[in-house]
Structure 1
Amino acid sequence: MSSSPEDELAGTEQPFVSHLIELRDRLIRALLAIGVAFGLLCLYPGPAGLYDLLAAPLVAHLPKGSSMIATNVLSPFLVPLKITMLAGFLVALPVVLYQVWAFVAPGLYSHEKRLVLPLVVSSTVLFFIGVAFCYFFVFGQVFKFIQGFAPKSIMAAPDIEAYLGFVMTMFIAFGAAFEVPVVVVVLARMGLVTVEKLREFRGYFIVLAFVIAAIITPPDIVSQLALAIPMCLLYELGIWSAGAFIRATKAPDDTDDAKDAAG
């Protein structure tokens, strides 16, 4: 005899204080993981090394004799430190997400666990892929385009704080754009839209993707295509994944449970 979905959580209730204690412990573990990652990155390659790595795509396209500048007295110290803290969080992100998952998993039904865990993992992987794609491909094309249009009479000397802000904006934009399949799957799984409607919306999404790319990216055709085309491809991936995901995470039917109980 199989138990009903309502019985899956039987005996898992804990006092409110116990939940708070567990939440505190998991937050501490997540913060410790971030702290350890931050400390290791401070040792190697170090804040200065990390900034040099982040600035490499721009420096490679600066004219000879040009370099980046700091217009604020504390910028040479604070900017590399901020980058190291961000890198530490990204390195420790798998541990952070595991702590989140371990905290909420006991309160989920089995079909809900099949829904949440793949979404957490896939959204994290897609975000990292978007950031890597931006760094290794898009930056080189963007900076090459910008320097190609710069007058010869201008000596480029970008500010390190302004560069950090630009990089963070681009990373977030590409990381979020690569979440398109996750958004599509969630919308379909929640019943807000059907897979058929998503297919019908395909043409509108292509136009929307190019509009978003034109707004977010610098005014060069390479970076706009580099954002719009992956968004369109990922939308197709989301449509394909939605059907399979809905079937895999479907809650058990009450009628099936009744039959199992009778058997």
Structure 2
Amino acid sequence: MGSIVDEKQKERIKELLKLPENAICADCGSPDVQWASINLGVFICIVCAGVHRHLGVHISRVKSANLDSWKESEVDMMESTNNEKANREIWEAALPPGFIKPTYGDSIGLKEQWIIAKYSNKSFSPPNTKDAKRINFEVKEGWIVKKGEVVKSWKKRWLRLIDGEYLYYYKGPTEKSHCGFISLRESGQIDSVSEVDSKPYCFIISTPKRRYLISCNTGEDMFRWIEVLRQAVINMPPGTASNGGSGKIPKMSY
């Protein structure tokens, strides 16, 4: 009797997965959706399901659509919503304009910080959400640690986005002369990478000549920088060069 009831619930879950609203992972957009967070009300892919499990059951209770047993109340919960509705009304209700959501092609480190912000910190939930921890994507400067090109050592630098095109790095926030710069116009991949030299929260900026490796103090800082830089690249007007309005390319220095 129990197995018959369980099969009935699984059939209901299978029908939910056929809905267009649940066709892709609620977090990364992957078309391979076979898992669910039964308390958050979203269907997710196996990669994002692994991240959800690390959040802890007090944040997200994960189940397989095919392998686990389902209670009727749990299926009722999933039927009361769908991925599009849950994101639109709750988990992504307050996404900043122009926000670039991580996709299934992005690194696991970036998706992890996205999921932490979305569910643990409720960073993008409606304005009146209790205990929400917002991320200020208007902040376009801050301390980082950067690996040198010639001398392979890590140096603490103050990173600042200028004119939406150049990343200048300085010895400190009050310094007038920069140590060097990165042209975002030449950038390719901007994504997180695994821990390097025991440095956490690393991301790279790839250019034709070099891969810049940067470590941040927190996962939130890394997530914010990647988002800010990706938006800068997308919003960059074509065919212009800027340096405080002078039109001159700044001199490279390391």
TM-score normalized with structure 1 length: 0.25
The structure with the greater share of residues assigned to strand is: 2
User: Taking structure 2 as the reference length, what is the TM-score of the superposition?
Assistant: 0.26
Larger radius of gyration: 1
Q: Which has the higher helix share?
A: 1
| Higher RCO by CA contacts (8 Å cutoff, separation 6 or greater) | 1
